[in-house]
Copies of this chain bind each other. A is one copy, B any other.
Amino acid sequence: MAMKIGILGYGNLGRGVEKAVAANSDQELVAVYTRRDPAGVQIKTPGVKVLSADALEGGKEDLDVLILCGGSATDLPEMTPKYAALYNVVDSFDTHARIPEHFAAVDAAAKKSGHIGLISCGWDPGMFSVNRLYAASILPEGEAYTFWGRGVSQGHSDAIRRIEGVQDARQYTVPVPEALERVRSGERPELTTREKHTRECYVVAKEGADLKKIEEEIKTMPNYFADYDTTVTFITQEELDRDHKGLPHGGSVIYTGSTGENRHVVEYRLTLDSNPEFTGSVLAAAARAVSRLNKEGVNGAKTMFDIAPAYLSPMSGEEIRAHML
């Protein structure tokens, strides 16, 4: 019998999860839950309901796993503990500094209710984290480098859009090729923020806006751009819609370690046409593991570190040993 999946939130990530669940023959989408008016939300899966998030109250929905597709800033810190008290849940919480408190809150709620709350799932945090851990566990003497891109950073694009005179914007995070090559060579360089990534901004200005001022404001914005070599290119809305519509992303975790005089380089690299669709696919696979583990009696907060890879696969132990080992 198919695993019953619910999705809370229908933005880019929610749509990515929907597509992933449709591709998983062992999973069935029960409903998409939304805090908006359900009548205004059109989903892609035929015959599946859109319901108000209120329907989730009291744990009355028949779900094996509820996948939470809210934002890390304000949604998930509240949502994940709340729903872990009622359902098995998976989220993609990515505010690094707040992971310990988020984990603790979800753990308390999930242990009390006997559910699993898998947090910080996706590719970073998520698959990148797992690869950092594998490499560091195998080669204790070594160092991990993470590069992101070339890809669209939605947070940085949003930051530009908030500047006065900006109509629309797309920001690409780009790893510096020389830095990548130095790290891949195994030399373990010390790299500053500026030496690792550059930022490319494509900006649509409002009519009559001061372009010089916009460019200056972007390039000097603390945290987001000031520490990077940033280029700003003004384009028309038509150009942005035509050439920058997608949400590609990716990057590399490169771990360079040694055993005495011998060097070893381990690289995990993603090149993704669609960041939310890949992330959604990781969440859907994680939901499979969560449902199984909970049926075995496991509960509490978990991360991808706690999931044996076999639990993510729809195949049996015999099948994966025969085909994947």
Contacts and interface: CB of A to CB of B under 8 A. Distances in A.
Nearest to A144: B324
A306 B308 contact: yes
Contacts of A140: 23-25, 314
A325 B125 contact: yes
Interface stretch (A59-67, A188-196, A236-244, A262-270): A262-270
Interface-central residue, A131, A140, A272, A278, by most chain B CB under 10 Å: A140
A259 B20 contact: yes
Interface stretch (A30-38, A83-91, A315-323): A315-323
Nearest to A134: B309
A313 B100 contact: no
Interface residues of A, number: 67
A131 B127 CA distance: 10
Given A96-B325, A269-B269, A325-B129, A278 B305 contact: no
Interface string A213-250: 00000000000000000000000000000000000000
B259 A324 contact: no
Interface string A25-53: 10000000000000000000000000000
A274 B259 contact: yes
Interface of A is mostly: helix
Given A134-B312, A278-B259, A325-B125, A268 B270 contact: no
Contacts of A139: 278, 281
Contacts of A55: none
A274 B320 CA distance: 28
Contacts of A308: 305-308
Nearest to A248: B262
A25 B267 CA distance: 25
B305 A321 contact: yes
A103 interface: yes
Q: How many protomers of this protein does the assembly include?
A: 2
Contacts of A271: 184, 186, 264-265, 267
A43 B296 CA distance: 45
A136 interface: yes
A313 B270 contact: no
Given A129-B324, A321-B100, A322-B99, A309 B137 contact: yes
Given A23-B141, A273-B262, A304 B309 contact: yes
Contacts of A321: 99-100, 103, 303, 305
B277 A259 contact: yes
26 contacts: A19-B259, A19-B260, A25-B140, A96-B325, A99-B325, A100-B321, A120-B325, A127-B138, A130-B134, A134-B312, A137-B288, A137-B313, A137-B314, A138-B278, A138-B282, A184-B271, A259-B278, A262-B272, A263-B273, A267-B267, A303-B321, A304-B309, A305-B309, A305-B310, A307-B308, A308-B308
